[in-house]
Amino acid sequence: MQSQGKGKLYVVGTGPGSPDLLTLRAKKALEDSDYIIGHQRYVKLIEDIETDAEIIMSKMGREVERVKLAFELSKENIVSLISGGDPGIYGMSGLVSEFLYEGEESEVEFVPGISAFSIANGILGCPISNDFAVVSLSDLLLPWKEIKKRLECALLGDFVIAIYNPSSRKRRGRFDEAVEIINKYRDGCFVGIVKNASREGEEHIICRCEELERYSEFVDMSTVLIVGNSKTKFNGNEIMFTPRGYKI
């Protein structure tokens, strides 16, 4: 399919991975595109979409190059730059916005997707039903000192906390350090561990924060942790929840 006239750039959230969790708006953007650009992992998650678009894949660490190419192609074509989950949550929307701020010109539309923490929340029950914070433990783009400070502040504020990118082969020590911080500020709170949410191999565990260390080898970059607050409960029937405060 070749677009006619002025081009456009969609920044598309593909959701957590399951095809039935791709939004209709995202699906239409992909179907209408001349080019689809993305990390190879996320491109594979949309293989079932019927489109004549040319697919351009690249590896982790090539984000800036992908955005530059997307802007160049979108001058005369319809382009979808894809991002896992929601593109505005640790995704490509921020980088695209930086290019726009620096003077790049193109018609851009951000297409939201279902985030990993939202899916993890549903798998566990509803631990995120009140105020919460989201923290990534990846220190590729942010100093670890700053990440620790944010985690500590969220713990001090008694927020339920969704933790992205908790561990990798190269950053195992960061997870161990985060566990120490969690145990320092939370006494016996419940923690939900969700791995491969909505994808093949999905698993989840609910434990106490002092038990987190034993799951160090289980946790990886495909895992989301949800750390409960002082009010979060677990009824023993696979439902972890935080009361809203209603009187029943």
Q: How confident is the model at residue 247 (pLDDT cuts 50, 70, 90)?
A: very high
Please say if the pLDDT value at position 23 is more than 60: yes
| Per-residue pLDDT reduced to its tens digit, 36-63 | 999 998 999 898 888 999 999 988 889 9
Q: Which residues of the chain does CATH 3.30.950.10 include?
A: 117-241
Arithmetic mean of pLDDT, 12-28: 94
**Nearest 5°: phi and psi at 247?**
-95, 120
Arithmetic mean of pLDDT, 190-201: 95
Is the domain defined by 117-241 classed in CATH 3.40.50.720?
Answer: no
| Per-residue pLDDT reduced to its tens digit, 154-193 | 999 999 999 999 998 777 789 999 999 999 999 899 999 9
Structure confidence at residue 1 (pLDDT): 39
Residue 7 CB neighbour total at 10 angstroms: 18
Q: Which residues of the chain does CATH 3.40.1010.10 include?
A: 8-114
Q: How confident is the model at residue 17 (pLDDT cuts 50, 70, 90)?
A: confident
The backbone region for 58, taken as left when phi is positive above 0, alpha when psi lies in -120 to 50, beta otherwise, is beta
Please, what sign has the CA dihedral across residues 113, 115, 121, 126?
negative
CATH of domain 8-114: 3.40.1010.10
Identify the H or E element spanning 69: helix 63-73
